[in-house]
Amino acid sequence: MEQTISTATRLRVGVFPTTIDPMPSAHPPAPAEPAATPGSAAREAAATRPSALGWSLAALLREWSARVDDVAGDLPHGTRGYQVLAAVVHDAPPTQAALAARLGIDRTVMTYLIDAFEGCGLVERRQDPADRRARRIVATDHGRGVLEAVDARVRQAEAELLGGLAAGERAALRALLERAADAVAHDEDRCAVVARATAPAAG
């Protein structure tokens, strides 16, 4: 007849396993945090840095002005002269006073500029048919040819300025900057905006 073995005896002689599974935890472990990707880490780092927009725009404008001064050196008054000639060539012939007001240039300074341009054969002062007391500033054929050559050198200088970017990146940057600028200065004259931004500091 089979003997009945008590629970105490089973434990003593090792009939029951000595390892008992632990009770399941009432709080399951938290899921592991996803590993940060290089792109997300770069975005997080950029979000915590001070904005470099002002510095970027100022540095580019400063370098652009210097390079345009270099390539427009054969025009009277460099970059300012380039802006004046561009305004005269690309728009309806303005009066001297209107041109000064548009570009934010003192009228006396504008008189010297136009005198210099006229002396170089780049522009002429012509009587306004609608107002015989007024004079219109008109570009000569020579002036148009000179501006075309300077425009080409300016485009080359701009390409060199952005030489650290690929061609597609340069095109994208130009488009984005123009869109952003148009949003804040939509109704402003472009030549006038550039003239004010690059004007020599007073004093």
- For the chain, the average pLDDT equals 80
Average pLDDT of 114-123?
94
Closest CA to 143 of 82, 77, 78, 85: 85
Average pLDDT of 124-131?
86
Average pLDDT of 39-60?
76
Each residue of 130-145: pLDDT tens digit? 777 788 999 999 999 9
Each residue of 11-20: pLDDT tens digit? 454 554 555 5
Q: Which tops the pLDDT comparison, 102 or 158?
A: 158
- Domains of the chain and any CATH numbers: 65-198 (1.10.10.10)
Average pLDDT of 36-50?
64
Distances (CA, A) of 75 to 71, 78, 177, 193: 9, 6, 28, 20
Average pLDDT of 155-176?
94
Q: Which tops the pLDDT comparison, 5 or 95?
A: 95
Is residue 104 left, alpha or beta, with left meaning phi > 0 and alpha meaning psi from -120 to 50? left
- pTM to 2 decimals? 0.64
pLDDT at residue 114 tops 90: yes
**Predicted pLDDT of residue 11:** 46
Q: Which tops the pLDDT comparison, 21 or 147?
A: 147
Range in 36-40, 66-70, 98-102, 180-184 with the lowest mean pLDDT: 36-40
